[in-house]
Chains A and B, each alone.
Chain A
Amino acid sequence: MRRLTKELALATAAALALAGGAWADVIKVGVIAPTSGPYATYGTQFRTGVDTYQAIHGHEVDGDTVEFIWRDSGGVNPDQARSHAQELIIREGVDYLAGFTFTPNALAVAQIIDQSQTPTVIFNAATSIITEESGFFVRPSFTLWQVSAPLAEWAHGQGIEEVVIAVSDYNPGIDAETGFRTAFEAAGGTVLDTIRMPLATTDFAPFMQRVRDAGPDAVFAFLPAGPPTFAFVKAYNDNGLPGAGVQLLGTGETDETTLEALGDAALGVYTAYHYSPDHDSPENEAFLAKLFELHPDAVPNFSTVQAYDGAHVIYEMIRAAGTDGPAAIEAVKGLEWISPRGPVQIDPETRHITQNVYIREVVRDEDGQLVNREFETIEAVPDLGLVNDY
């Protein structure tokens, strides 16, 4: 370890020398995110969020310019994420890392950021274990436990006694399933059936029949955004589940980038999530005003605001500790601020965000646009997922 520290010192010195001794005036932040391919929307949303933050709060912190350097990770590609992180830290001399849409990509840099002591702000990747893998991770995004457990409690409070859980058969789906089930059963409800659906399927009719046969009050679903979500919501309507009195409950299924494509099929779906652009607060209004000024065609969603808050966390770390990684991490623990999504805090224990979770219903707003309208708030929810084991 001592040898590594020495190597690190040498490498950093070399990198700084290369950067033209510019270490007092430019602080670099490397962002690793998908900016091409099927997940490029994440990259675009992150960029919009960071742009908006810098436009509102300036490009300088205490006289130091903050520069974001973008690297494309494509999809899930831990090899690439790791070599990007190496390049950014060693050659570009970045003092902070950020981004990460997918869990494996974030996990792949854990050893590196430990060794280089680089604070790394997760803009999305939502598996609870991530922040345990390195003390240099900070996560102002969300976890699936964080949104699905409050939804379960709320649903039970609404008189929903029996549910069927239907999730895609991969880790996020199973996180959502476990989170919902744990909270729902703790509240006294009954899970009639759990369906794990193949990740790539778009034919949900057989599963809908299973749900119908079980005759629950509601079906809780988690699917990856995109075609599976469209097909699932469509199958829910086509198979007459709304008429049979089965309420659809979800989390990110009605995210704003998929909402218009879902159309009327989404009306009346209840979800629990941490951000809707429809959120009514002056902070959100200011955020959206600047965002639409910069990018008139943008469709802001949860990942935009996560990147916006991520930029805030980075700015606050720089303000408190400059380029001193360990000090920056200490400074960020317990940090509180008012985000466009509401009041939030970085939990000093887990370095994960504690935030409000909102229960929303899909409605048409005054302009006829589909929106996720928040109508109930569960305040200050921490990450609930660290008890999770498969």
Chain B
Amino acid sequence: MSSSASDVAPRRPLLAGRGLLWEAVILAVGVGLFFLFPYDLGFLSRILIMIVFVLSLDLVLGYAGVATLGQAAMYGTGAYAAGLIAIHVTASPLLGLAAGAVAGAGIAFVSGLVLMRAHGLTLLMLSIAVAQVLQEVANKARPLTGGADGLRGIRMDPILGLWEFDFIGRAGYWYVLTVLILVLLFLKVVVNSPLGLSARGIQESPERMRAIGTPVYWRLVWIYTIAGGIAGVAGALAAQVTALVSLEVFNFDHSAEALIMLVLGGAGRLYGAVVGVAIFMLVEHVAAAVDPFNWLFLIGALVLAVVFFVPAGLLGLPKALTGLVRR
């Protein structure tokens, strides 16, 4: 038995790669921002939540290569689940978060059973359709969801019974930052696990993966489900921090914007999502504050510049620059 074990390649440690350097940097930056910008915690929390959401898309698109424009379906489901739990069952933030994750994963699993059989444009259209159907369901279920007025009446208990959500957003910020770091660590485990590695393989060549005996369809369904759970967490965070859920959580724009941010940062790298969201939302925030009426021009120019000059995203910038110098 021991001899057969030695034939197998050594197991990669769960948190393989360059150690935990990146996570440590992100944590340090997150803590630093809290003290540097004590008056912008609401905005900073929105960035962190968006990062969680884009990370979920990164897992699907960047790692498994599944092009989808319907990630908002899981985000929205998570948001409504967390909101409804808070109103009708328990106002505990952590249970709400769990409900968001379960709801997001559930919707992803069910829709994934269909979606993962499709490819390319068909998949794209179907993924949009799922989000639109859910949006109309939420609109019709007015007595439950409040319809277009939004789901109101969410009052969260203190986190772990200790930290109350204050209107400056301090408790909310620490809460969201902690969840983000945990999600990053979890995703690092996932992408380095056999499941994550086979997802990469599927992105590069589904045929070859099938030939070596990988159940491609089911691997994709699981990846999609895990990503759905994370998107659900992001939605739940937004619902808890804002204390209101609107139908727009299911918006197409929401999925599309996440995609733009991911492309901006660089898909297929967990830190690409972090960098892309941070830069996009920062530019947007500053530009919109300076000129609230014309700022969209700047955002458009930024996205075009990245797509034309650094197609691999901003994380590909150093490589692109060294390539330029060597030439």
Interface, chain A (partner B; CB < 8 A) = 3-4, 7-8, 11, 14-15, 18, 35-37, 40, 43-44, 70-72, 75-80, 82-87, 89-91, 103-104, 107-108, 110-112, 115-116, 127, 129, 133, 169-172, 174, 199, 390
In the complex formed, the residue of A with least CB distance to B167 is A115
**How far is the CB of A371 from the nearest CB of chain B, in Å?**
28
* Neighbouring B residues of A112 by C-beta, 8 Å: 167
Is B192 located at the chain interface by the 8 A CB criterion?
no
Is B269 located at the chain interface by the 8 A CB criterion?
no
Q: A170 to B147, Cβ gap below 8 A? A: yes
Interface, chain B (partner A; CB < 8 A) = 38-43, 45-46, 49, 139-140, 142-143, 146-150, 152, 155, 164, 166-169, 238, 241-248, 288-289, 292-296
Cα(A103)–Cα(B245), bound, Å? 12
Q: A103 to B148, Cβ gap below 8 A? A: yes
**How far is the CB of A268 from the nearest CB of chain B, in Å?**
31
A-B CB pair tally, cutoff 8 Å? 124
Q: B167 to A83, Cβ gap below 8 A? A: no
A sample of 21 inter-chain contacts (CB < 8 A) reads A3-B164, A7-B168, A35-B292, A36-B293, A40-B293, A75-B248, A76-B246, A76-B247, A79-B46, A79-B49, A80-B46, A83-B43, A84-B42, A86-B42, A108-B243, A111-B243, A127-B149, A129-B149, A171-B142, A199-B139, A390-B143
Q: B150 to A104, Cβ gap below 8 A? A: yes
For A35, A133, A174, which residue has the most chain B Cβ atoms within 10 angstroms? A35
* Neighbouring A residues of B167 by C-beta, 8 Å: 4, 8, 86, 89, 111-112, 115-116
Cα(A171)–Cα(B152), bound, Å? 14
A sample of 16 more A-B contacts (CB under 8 A), given A44-B293, A78-B246, is A7-B166, A15-B39, A36-B288, A43-B293, A70-B292, A82-B42, A82-B244, A83-B42, A86-B167, A104-B149, A104-B244, A104-B246, A107-B149, A107-B150, A169-B139, A170-B147
Cα(A340)–Cα(B12), bound, Å? 74
Cα(A86)–Cα(B171), bound, Å? 14
Q: B288 to A71, Cβ gap below 8 A? A: yes
* Neighbouring B residues of A87 by C-beta, 8 Å: 39-40, 42-43
Cα(A170)–Cα(B149), bound, Å? 9
Q: A91 to B40, Cβ gap below 8 A? A: yes
In the complex formed, the residue of B with least CB distance to A44 is B293
Q: A72 to B288, Cβ gap below 8 A? A: yes
In the complex formed, the residue of B with least CB distance to A76 is B248
Q: A71 to B296, Cβ gap below 8 A? A: no
Cα(A91)–Cα(B41), bound, Å? 10
Cα(A75)–Cα(B296), bound, Å? 13
Q: B288 to A90, Cβ gap below 8 A? A: no
Cα(A116)–Cα(B155), bound, Å? 17
User: Which of A40, A90, A115, A171 lies in contact with B149, CB distance below 8 A?
Assistant: A171
**How far is the CB of B36 from the nearest CB of chain A, in Å?**
13
For B42, B149, B150, B293, which residue has the most chain A Cβ atoms within 10 angstroms? B149
* Neighbouring A residues of B40 by C-beta, 8 Å: 87, 91
Cα(A254)–Cα(B139), bound, Å? 26
Q: A108 to B148, Cβ gap below 8 A? A: no
**How far is the CB of A17 from the nearest CB of chain B, in Å?**
12
Q: A71 to B143, Cβ gap below 8 A? A: no
* Neighbouring B residues of A82 by C-beta, 8 Å: 42, 241-244
Given A87-B42, A129-B149, A171-B147, the answer on whether A77 and B292 have CB atoms closer than 8 Å is: no
